[in-house]
Amino acid sequence: MRKKTLCLLVIAAVILLPDPSIGQEEVASRYYHYRSTEMSTGIYEEYEVRPRGIHALFDGDKERQRDAGISRSDESESRAWNRLFLNDSHRGIAFYEYRRCVDCHPGNAQNRHTVRYGITCRQCHGGEPIASINHYFSRLNPIRQHTHVCSKCHSGAKASFALYAVHEPNPARASTIDSIPFLFYAFWIMVAIAVLTFALFIPHTFMWIVREIFHREKKQREE
């Protein structure tokens, strides 16, 4: 009788009690879940990358370095979503509340994201206080820009995708060499090819058309 009761209790416990902790991967292995869901499937806003000064501890161990600082992000824990932790880059600017972003950053609204798709500055940079994109808890910090900003529209965006320059530098300017050198060189190589092609063929075609007019006239006179 005791054995039977014990067996029934064990069966009931297996059915009714929650899974053992090893099955609760969200608690047991947060960074694994981050990598297996957010990074691969595009499920976002559950985990965040948090900057911590522990990279030096894993000097040389690239795998551990990569996984370091990834932890669960929820309402109570998230620093990137909580703007309390941000510095205010615009602190001290007179009449700041009455200014628009483009008053001080006029060129930054001239990009395809803003003009074509109507994306406002705050949709990416967030509300007040607006911190530098290099601030630890900024959503635009390169460590989390892809998950917290890009993926709003580009589901599945990864860190490499966030390297696309939304505020693209003018490719013709020499200063672009400092930010995206390939863009500068590719632009001028392509322009050189186009200019050489037209420098040869536009006068060639024009001269040909003009010459044929006289050629025909001469032929007709001979006839």
Partner 1 sequence: MRLHRFTLFQRLFHLLLMVSFLVQATTGVGRMYAETNFGKVLLTPFGGFYNALVWHKLVGIFMLVLFGVHLIYIMIVALRLRERSIMGPDSIIPNRMDMRMMVNHLGWMVGRNKIPPFERWGYWEKFDYWAVFWGMVIIGGTGLFLYDPLISSAIMPGWTINVAFWIHRIEAILAMAHVFLIHFAIAHLRRHNFPMDRAMFAGGADLESAKEERAAWISRLEQEGRLNNLTSRDTSLPGLVVSYLIGFSAILLGLYVIIGGIVNFRYVTW
Q: Note whether 129 binds partner 1 by CB under 8 A.
A: no
Angle at 104 between CA 103 and CA 108, to 5 degrees: 95
The residue range among 43-51, 61-69, 97-105, 195-203 that interacts with partner 1, by the rule CB under 8 A, is 195-203
Cβ nearer to partner 1, comparing 51 with 171:
171
Distance of alpha carbon 43 from alpha carbon 60, whole angstroms: 30
Site string for partner 1, 22-61 (x = CB under 8 A): ----------------------------------------
157 binds partner 1 (CB under 8 A): yes
CB of 152 to partner 1, least distance (A): 14
22: Cα separation from own chain's centroid: 34
Specify the residue for token string 């009714």: 16
Closest to partner 1 by CB, 93 vs 165, is 165
CA–CA separation, 140 vs 126, rounded Å? Answer: 9
Q: How far is the CB of 215 from partner 1 (least distance, A)?
A: 7
Could you tell me which stretch among 2-10, 63-71, 83-91, 156-164 binds partner 1 (CB under 8 A)? Answer: 156-164
List the one residue from 213, 220, 222, 223 that touches partner 1 (CB under 8 A).
213
Which of 82, 105, 198, 199 is in the footprint of partner 1 by CB under 8 A? 198
Kindly state the helix (H) or strand (E) to which residue 6 belongs, with its residue range.
Answer: helix 2-16
Contact residues: partner 1, CB under 8 A: 110-112, 115-116, 154, 156-158, 160-165, 168, 171, 180, 182-183, 186-187, 190-191, 193-194, 197-198, 201-202, 204-205, 207-213, 215-216
